[in-house]
């Protein structure tokens, strides 16, 4: 898949031309925040996880991480991230470009409530140097998600 599939996918909302492609890497939250000139929390980080039958993608604010207890309580299984090889094979996107767009129909998307504190966030668009600025309503609509969840917690500051 990748950015070309995401571009085609977002064209149904006439947002394909709004994808931002950068020279710099946006593969990590820190890199994306630096490249876009925003705080890391506004990067919509996509985490790909194994399920009993396939995988899901949880999109969360860049300053959050999975809370294993909340995840298990919500989904009934222990959180296990896909390997880079599995992420590419199952989602069609390489790590650093995994996003909630143009996914196979059997990969569910969930949005973490941690992003609701922002007017807009920046999810990746299928490559390690792309993003798009979206409102929560746009992200909700374009990701065709299965719902909002509360399965994350703040990343502890270094040194704590």
Per residue in 54-81, pLDDT tens?
A: 999 999 999 999 999 999 999 999 999 9
CA-CA distance, 104 to 83, in Å (whole number)? 17
Mean local confidence (pLDDT), 119-124: 97
Element (H, E) at 74: helix 68-75
Mean local confidence (pLDDT), 77-99: 93
CB 152 within 8 A of CB 68: no
Q: What is the pLDDT of residue 15?
A: 97
Q: What is the pLDDT of residue 12?
A: 96
Average predicted confidence (pLDDT) for the chain: 94
Residues linked to residue 21 through DSSP beta bridges, in sequence order = 130
pTM for this prediction: 0.93
| 160 has pLDDT over 70 | no
Q: Structural domains in the chain?
A: 3-148 (3.90.960.10)
């Amino acid at each position: 898949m990748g950015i070309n599939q995401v571009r085609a996918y977002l064209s149904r909302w006439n947002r394909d031309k709004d994808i931002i492609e950068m020279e710099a890497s946006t593969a990590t939250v820190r890199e994306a925040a630096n490249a876009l000139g925003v705080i890391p929390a506004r990067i919509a980080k996509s985490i790909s996880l194994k399920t009993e039958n396939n995988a899901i993608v949880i999109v969360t604010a860049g300053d959050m991480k999975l809370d294993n207890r909340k995840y298990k309580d919500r989904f009934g299984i222990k959180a296990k991230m896909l390997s880079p090889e599995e992420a590419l094979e199952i989602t069609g996107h390489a790590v650093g470009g995994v996003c909630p767009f143009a996914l196979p129909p059997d990969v569910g998307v969930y949005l973490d409530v941690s992003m609701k504190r922002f007017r807009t966030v920046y999810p990746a668009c299928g490559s390690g140097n792309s993003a798009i600025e979206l409102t929560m309503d746009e992200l909700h609509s374009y990701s065709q998600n299965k719902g909002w969840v509360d399965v994350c917690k703040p990343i502890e500051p270094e040194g704590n």
